[in-house]
Amino acid sequence: MTLFIDMDEVLADTYGAHIRFYNDVYNESLSKKDCLGGEVWQSVPKERQSSIHEHCYEKGFFRNLKPIENSIEVVRELDKYYNIYIASAAMQFPNSLEEKHYWLEEYFPFIPWQQRILCGNKHILKGDILIDDRKYNLESFEGRSLLFTSPHNVNTNGFERVNTWGDVASLLL
C-alpha cells in the first residue's frame, strides 16, 4: 500500500516555528491556543501580519523546524508495512526545496530521496492513503484521507481526523 505523508504541520512543526518567531521578535507570549481555527498571521495585529509571511523566505526557516512529537518513531514503524512517500509543497518558498531535503536527511534518513516528492501541488498524488493538514490537499485525493490536526484546521470537518502520531499508529499499524 502507498502512504503519502505531508511535511509541514504533519512531520515538521511549522506552526510552532511561526509562533516562536513572532514571540521572539515582538516579545509576546502568543500560544497555539490563541490561534485555534486560523493561521498564526491571522491571530496577530494587522501591522505585524506581513512579518509572519516574510520570515518563511529567510534562509534556515524550513531547515530548523522541530519534528512533530512521535512522528519519527511512528513513521519508522509504518515504513515496515507501507510504501511511504513524503509529499510536500516546496515550490512557494525558494529555500524550502533544499532545506526540506536536508531536514528529511536528518530526521527521516530511512526514507530515501527517491521517495520524497517536493512539489507545487498535490493533486497529482495517486495512492492508498494521504496524511495531510490541509483540506484542499485531501479533497482531490482519491484514496483514504487522514486530516492531521493542526491549530488552523480544528474547525475543519468531513475527513477522518488524526490528532497525534499515536492516533496514526492506532489506525495504520
Query: Both 103 and 147 in a single domain?
Result: yes
What pLDDT is recorded for position 97? 87
CATH number, domain of 73, equals 3.40.50.1000
Tell me the whole-structure pTM to 2 decimals: 0.95
Query: Both 49 and 81 in a single domain?
Result: no
Query: Both 6 and 42 in a single domain?
Result: no
Identify the residue whose cell numbers are 527517491.
114
Our count of domains for the chain comes to: 2
Query: Both 82 and 134 in a single domain?
Result: yes
What pLDDT is recorded for position 119? 86
Q: What is the signed CA dihedral for 139, 141, 145, 150, rounded to 10 degrees?
A: -60
* Residue of 12, 16, 13, 8 whose CA lies nearest to 119: 8
CA distance 151 to 3: 23
Is 6 among the residues known to form the active site?
yes
Q: Over the chain (173 residues), what is each successive 10-residue block's mean pLDDT? A: 97 95 92 92 90 87 96 98 94 86 97 93 94 96 97 96 98 97
> Which structural domain, as residue segments, surrounds residue 20?
14-57
Query: Both 6 and 27 in a single domain?
Result: no
Query: Both 106 and 167 in a single domain?
Result: yes
Query: Which residues are bridge partners to 118 per DSSP?
Result: 88
What pLDDT is recorded for position 51? 87
Query: Both 79 and 163 in a single domain?
Result: yes
Query: Both 73 and 123 in a single domain?
Result: yes
Query: Both 123 and 80 in a single domain?
Result: yes
Query: Both 112 and 150 in a single domain?
Result: yes
What pLDDT is recorded for position 56? 86
CA distance 98 to 105: 11
Residue 68: what residue type? I
Question: One of 6, 13, 132, 133 is an active-site residue; which one?
Answer: 6
Query: Both 35 and 87 in a single domain?
Result: no
Query: Both 147 and 85 in a single domain?
Result: yes
What pLDDT is recorded for position 53? 81
What pLDDT is recorded for position 57? 86
* Residue of 6, 4, 161, 146 whose CA lies nearest to 82: 4
Question: One of 8, 13, 132, 133 is an active-site residue; which one?
Answer: 8
